[in-house]
Structure 1
Amino acid sequence: MNIKNYKPLRLMAADSEDVEVVSACLQDAVMKVGDMAFLPKEHRFAFVANRFVWEEGANRKRGPFIRVRTGVHFDDVTGVKARNIRQDAKSAVVSLLAVRFEQAANDDCRLLLEFAGGGEISLEASAVNIALSDISDPWRTQSKPEHDA
């Protein structure tokens, strides 16, 4: 792929199927703990991350591959809980494995951000309302994330 031809990804998610697409795009995104924030007055949880561009490198065995800086925000968030993520370790790097949707008993939902090593952030939300936008020029990387089968 010619890096100059890269078109920034922009996605919106409004239901559980959309969450699966967002999850696939964010798989193996890396970020610092300090690059995540819950803004309770705005009902927003947001982060910036270095996203592996799976849509350009999933079927190739050798690089170069591409990463890009992306911004993501979840709106209509009413609460956030973190498990196995040290909030005071702002410079710690975490790797996002998946974003999962769970329907709550009422019309609310839970969005789970699952990280390598067992960390998790649970977002309580009144609706699925996610936006993802690539915000930087892409850069080359030789390594492709790998997972045990």
Structure 2
Amino acid sequence: MEPLKLAAFDADDLAVLSAHLQDAVVRVADLTYLPGQRRFALVGRRFDWEAGEREARRRLTGCHFERVLSVKTRGIDRSHPEAILNLLAITFEPGEPPSGAAILHFAGGACIRLNVECIEALMKDMGPIWAARQRPAHDVERA
């Protein structure tokens, strides 16, 4: 599989980016807000869903958001930089168009809210691929 490079400029694009980043593991130390550049960036180890059922593997992946006006976190302790977060989804709450908030949801209720001028995000696979110990599984409520 070729490395992915995806851009998001609207909520639908962001949903695609979210699907590829679902179950990425991210160290707290690998989350960065650069207010002078109005950029929020992270490096994670995403589960390679494109590999299908044939193999379980992870890839080193970077993701950054541009035009970030402010960042708020909940449930993330920056004093523990080696703590691991499991990214579940990225959603968008619209504000006064084209602004809004990109919200990164992590397991255990932690989240990061990026107040953005508009959606402008890029995800790029950066390098190594390795075998994952297991395939992520989620409890799904049945109606």
State the TM-score, normalized to the length of structure 2. 0.94
- Are 1:30 and 2:25 matched, yes or no? yes
Structure 1 runs, 4 residues or longer, greater than 6 Å off: none
User: What does residue 3 of structure 1 align with?
Assistant: none
User: What does residue 3 of structure 2 align with?
Assistant: 8
CA distance in structure 1 between the aligned counterparts of 2:58 and 2:5, rounded to whole angstroms:
15
1:96-126 CA-partner distances (Å, limit 9, x unpaired): 0000011013531100000000000000000
> How many residue pairs align between the two structures?
140
SS of the aligned residue for 2:91 comes to strand
State the TM-score, normalized to the length of structure 1. 0.90
Query: % of aligned pairs identical?
Result: 39
Q: How does 1:1-149 map to 2 (within 5 A)?
A: 6-57=1-52, 60=53, 64-149=55-140
1:46-81 CA-partner distances (Å, limit 9, x unpaired): 000000011222xx2xx6312100010000000000
The residue type equivalent to 1:116 in the other structure is A
SS of the aligned residue for 1:135 comes to strand
Cα RMSD (Å) = 1.1
Contact conserved, 1:64 with 1:143, CA < 8 A, in 2? no
| TM-aligned CA deviation for residue 45 of structure 1 | 0.2
Contact conserved, 1:110 with 1:122, CA < 8 A, in 2? yes
